């Protein structure tokens, strides 16, 4: 009976770092090094400490470790992805959600705990959320925007790590952004290589940062191919805050089709606009791509891969942007003296599908047919 009572007493005892050290045959300081990762420890020693902790059921005190190391192990993430598009009326991409997934993919293997706060679509919430994170002693913050834009953040300590994803601010915090200009330029250049010279462009709202950048890419591709820019081929197909989106797009399409020399291909500001354009063209008896080619932007696969024909578009690398933002924040949070360079722009590759007809190929085939007659 005495031995049973003694055994029960031992089982109910809370293991300490000294118990782990005794069982592993090392000093308490070595156990501390294993727990905190603040000094090199041989693999054999680390394995012995891990085995001792498992046998004793030792649970480290995060609070105590935080006080000793002055690090919380927490990373704050501000986004609108959770509340964004809960019941979407129209098919659309979820860039902020894909960015968050990329961030989580990196943070999940870093040993850090990601704390996510949602703005509920209200940008005025951001300063409050940042202050709350600072009160909880997070080691760094990532702010994710739903589209490429300029943001304003509250004042934070100069040495506090903050990384912006899909946005930028006047203070010059590190930003991870899509290369919108190069993406549009590469798309138009590939259309030109396929024999298109009359390239229509239905843009998003011109107040958007991405629209201005992509417009520059469109013009640069034309200029490098010695194709004169024609203002009549460019029209806004979507206006921010307008409920009559279909009417705006319809009017823009009518202007393009009424030209003396209509475009052979129409680039759209995003894949959702391209989806609408498919319907408008077919309602007029115009076939895609036999009569006119169509290209989008985003590579939102729910649209691009299910349309018939599948849509040629440009990939917006949201998942990769999230990964880069997370890795950069971890680097800023590290104790290394030399801080990493800004992540900068992330490339947007062209996804070529069958919504675009290669006119130069068609010309070659037609000439071969005539020669055989």
Any idea which residue has 């005892």 for tokens? 13
Q: Where are the beta strands (DSSP E) in 198-303?
A: 199-203, 234-236, 265-268, 293-295
Q: Nearest 5°: phi and psi at 46?
A: -60, -40
Kindly report the CATH number that applies to the domain delimited by 2-69: 1.10.260.40
Q: Identify the band that residue 334 occupies on the pLDDT scale cut at 50, 70 and 90.
A: confident
pTM: 0.76
pLDDT of residue 162: 94
CATH superfamily of 180-315+352-358: Response regulator (3.40.50.2300)
DSSP H or E stretch at residue 318: helix 318-333
pLDDT band at residue 195, thresholds of 50, 70 and 90?
Answer: very high
Of the ranges 31-45, 184-198, 351-365, the best mean pLDDT one: 184-198
Q: Residue 195 carries which DSSP code?
A: T
Q: With cut-offs at 50, 70 and 90, classify the pLDDT of residue 159.
A: confident
Looking at residue 9, what is its pLDDT?
A: 39
125 falls in which pLDDT band (50, 70, 90)?
A: confident
Q: What is the pLDDT of residue 318?
A: 94
Q: What is the pLDDT of residue 261?
A: 97
User: Which CATH topology does 74-178+318-347 take?
Assistant: Rossmann fold (3.40.50)
Q: Using one digit for the tens of pLDDT, what is the confidence trace for 299-327? A: 999 999 999 999 999 999 999 999 999 99
Helix (H) or strand (E) holding 227: none
pLDDT band at 372 (very low <50, low <70, confident <90, very high): very low
d(CA 34, CA 43): 10
Q: What is the pLDDT of residues 241-279, one digit of tens each?
A: 555 667 899 999 999 999 999 999 999 999 999 999 999
Q: Is the per-residue pLDDT at 368 higher than 70? A: no
Q: Rounded distance, CA 294 to CA 313, Å?
A: 9
Question: What are the sequence ranges of the domains in the chain?
Answer: 2-69, 74-178+318-347, 180-315+352-358
In CATH terms, are 2-69 and 180-315+352-358 the same topology? Answer: no
Whole-number Å distance between alpha carbons of 213 and 217: 6
């Amino acid at each position: 009976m005495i031995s049973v009572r003694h055994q029960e007493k031992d089982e109910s005892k809370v293991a300490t770092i000294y118990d782990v050290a005794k069982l592993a045959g090392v000093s308490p300081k070595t156990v501390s090094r294993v727990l905190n990762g603040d000094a090199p420890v041989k693999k054999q020693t680390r394995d012995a400490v891990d085995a001792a902790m498992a046998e004793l059921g030792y649970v480290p005190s995060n609070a105590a470790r935080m006080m000793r190391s002055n690090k919380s192990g927490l990373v704050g993430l501000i986004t609108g992805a959770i509340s964004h598009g809960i019941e979407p009326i129209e098919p659309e991409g979820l860039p902020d959600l894909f960015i968050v997934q990329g961030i989580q993919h990196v943070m999940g293997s870093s040993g850090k705990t990601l704390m996510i706060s949602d703005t509920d679509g209200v940008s005025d919430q951001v300063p409050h959320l940042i202050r709350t994170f600072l009160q909880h002693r997070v080691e760094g913050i990532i702010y994710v925007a739903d589209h490429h834009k300029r943001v304003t953040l509250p004042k934070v300590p100069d040495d506090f790590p903050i990384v912006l994803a899909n946005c930028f601010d006047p203070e010059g915090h590190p930003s991870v952004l899509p290369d919108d200009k190069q993406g549009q330029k590469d798309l138009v250049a590939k259309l030109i290589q396929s024999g298109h010279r009359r390239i229509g462009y239905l843009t998003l709202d011109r107040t958007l940062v991405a629209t201005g950048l992509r417009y520059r890419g469109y013009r640069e591709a034309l200029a490098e191919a010695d194709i004169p820019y024609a203002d009549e081929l460019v029209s806004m197909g979507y206006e921010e805050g307008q409920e009559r989106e279909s009417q705006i797009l319809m009017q823009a399409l009518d202007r393009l089709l009424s030209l003396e020399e209509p475009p052979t291909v129409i680039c759209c500001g995003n894949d959702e606009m391209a989806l609408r354009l498919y319907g408008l063209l077919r309602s007029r008896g115009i076939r895609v791509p036999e009569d006119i080619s169509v290209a989008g932007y985003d590579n939102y696969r729910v649209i691009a891969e299910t349309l018939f024909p599948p849509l040629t578009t440009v990939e917006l690398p949201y998942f990769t942007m999230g990964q880069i933002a997370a890795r950069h924040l971890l680097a800023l949070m590290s104790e290394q003296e030399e801080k990493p360079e800004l992540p900068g722009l992330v490339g947007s590759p062209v996804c070529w599908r069958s919504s675009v007809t290669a006119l130069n190929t068609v010309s070659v085939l037609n000439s071969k047919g005539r020669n055989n007659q």
